[in-house]
Amino acid sequence: MMRSIERELLAWIVGTLLLGSALVAMTTYVVTLDEMNEVFDNDLRNVAVGVATYHRSNAPHEQAHAPVLIPRDDEPQDSEIATFAWDASGTLIYSSDPRVPIRYVAKEGLSHPRIGNEDWIVYTAVHDRGIVQAAQRRASRREMAGESAAKILPFLLAMAVVVAGLLIYGLRRGLRPLDAAARDVAGRSARSLEAIDTSAVPAELLPMVRAINSLMAKLDQSFSAQRTFLADAAHELRTPIAALRLQLTLLERSADELERSAATASLKLGVMRAQRLIGQLLAVARTDPAGSLDPLQRVDLDDLVRTVLEPFASAAEAAGIDLGAELQGPAPVLGDTGQLAMLLDNLIENALRHTPAGGVVDVGTAMDDGRPVLFVRDSGPGIPAADRERVFGRFVRRDVNGNGNGGGGGDVGSGLGLTIVKAIAERHGATVRLMDRAQGPGLEVRVRFPVAAPASGANAAALRQDS
């Protein structure tokens, strides 16, 4: 069954009321019994003493005859007070209930003997010619106390029912604003993410409604960011595709082999550019902060550098660039290997693209204040300080018209590389810094991770950065 606040509250309150009723009835029983004991004990004494007075005054007359039990002509009742008179020799001379096998005990006062197999309360009045006993079953007192407790139970139960009814009514009334809020949300279109009106929401529900509102605000932001991205992406795709069409036309019109091969070459470049753009767009989509990360693993940055660097070796050699690794021993971080490889890939690509022949690109790791650092350093033109913020933006390219080695007509950049680098770094709790190369002109990119990963992959989730 679904959980319901109404049912739960009702169960608790009605349960409490029933328990309370039972307690009241029990208390009534105990208190009544106590009162009754006092009153009836007194009665027993009065009866015993009264009957004793009678027997003493009639004693001379009784002694003239042999003791004889005066029979009763009605049935004695269990609830009544029974009286017994004995003479001084211990002979029973009167019994109001001959069924009761009471014994002669000449001791003044109250006693609680067991007679037959019942508990009794007996008052014994001793006088100079015998004793008188007034006796009552303990069970009959209990019965009377039980009856008076039972009498108040129906009232208590009726009260429980009335209170429960009032509660249901009150609760339904109190929860009505929630229905209104639910109707408000249900009646909306998928695109309408305005906040729920909180003016009529009761205080208890306010935190929840506020949380929903803040979630909707975040959704709204992320929707509009996606819309902008989609529009930008479509815009960016249009350019290389228009170029492709143009180059195709040129190819068709080429008169000789020379023209044809020139057209084919630029067509090839155009296709590469479009391919690169689509690949980078896909990467951006994968690094979306709302998307899911693969489970974080312990990744050694040294291993990562070795693996990612290798495929670049021949291209670097062909471009006359000295591509080297500076590894400082294990630099463990918690991360997603695939995404970290994508990050490093983009940085190395940028460095190689902007470094002129004869230049140097160093890729390496370091420990800085207990934090693992990944760096890529090149001897290219670098990025002026004023532009270091801007280049992380989507589709931002500084060198469309050629700047450095790979610029100009050969540039297939889409302006998304550093966007991807930053997004991946942020998902790993890392920061990216662009700085001047210390040993001369060039750029150094440093990605600084949070504290080194513990030996066993402990609290990986702690590293996840939710926006």
Ligand X SMILES: Nc1ncnc2c1ncn2[C@@H]1O[C@H](COP(=O)(O)OP(=O)(O)OP(=O)(O)O)[C@@H](O)[C@H]1O
Binding residues for Mg ion (CB under 5 A): 350, 417
Which residue type, as a one-letter code, is found at position 217? A
Q: Strand 443-448 to strand 332-335: parallel, antiparallel, or no bridges (unpaired)?
A: unpaired
The least CB distance from residue 466 to ligand X, in Å, is 24
**Considering only residues 275-314, where is the footprint of ligand X by CB under 6 A?**
276, 280
Residue 406 interacts with, from ligand X, Mg ion, none (CB under 5-8 Å by kind): none
CA distances for 24 relative to 11, 167, 177, angstroms: 20, 22, 38
Q: Is 135 or 309 the residue whose CB approaches Mg ion more closely?
A: 309
Give the containing element (helix H, strand E) for 444: strand 443-448
Binding footprint of ligand X, residue count (CB under 6 A): 24
Q: Nearest-CA neighbor of 288 among 391, 100, 419, 451?
A: 419
Residue 430 interacts with, from Mg ion, ligand X, none (CB under 5-8 Å by kind): none
Residue 203, Cβ density class (10 Å: 0-12 exposed, 13-18 middle, ≥19 buried): exposed
Q: Is 41 or 399 the residue whose CB approaches ligand X more closely?
A: 399
Closest residue to bound Mg ion by CB: 417
**Considering only residues 380-419, where is the footprint of ligand X by CB under 6 A?**
380-383, 391, 396-399, 413-419
The tokens 């009794």 sit on which residue?
120
- Which residue stretch of 22-30, 125-133, 181-189, 379-387 sits at the interface with ligand X (rule: CB under 6 A)? 379-387
Q: How far apart are the first and last CA of the chain?
A: 36
Q: Is 211 or 325 the residue whose CB approaches ligand X more closely?
A: 325
Q: Is 240 or 417 the residue whose CB approaches Mg ion more closely?
A: 417
Tokens found for residue 466: 């939710």
Q: Nearest-CA neighbor of 430 among 446, 406, 415?
A: 446
Give the containing element (helix H, strand E) for 122: strand 118-127
Residue 276 interacts with, from Mg ion, ligand X, none (CB under 5-8 Å by kind): ligand X
32 touches ligand X by CB under 6 A: no
Q: Is 295 or 402 the residue whose CB approaches ligand X more closely?
A: 402
* C-alpha–C-alpha distance, residues 219 and 87, integer Å: 103
HSE, side-chain direction, 13 A CA sphere, residue 331: 26
435 touches ligand X by CB under 6 A: no
Q: Is 183 or 238 the residue whose CB approaches ligand X more closely?
A: 238
In the complex, which residues of this chain contact ligand X (CB under 6 A)?
276, 280, 346, 350-351, 354, 378, 380-383, 391, 396-399, 413-419, 443
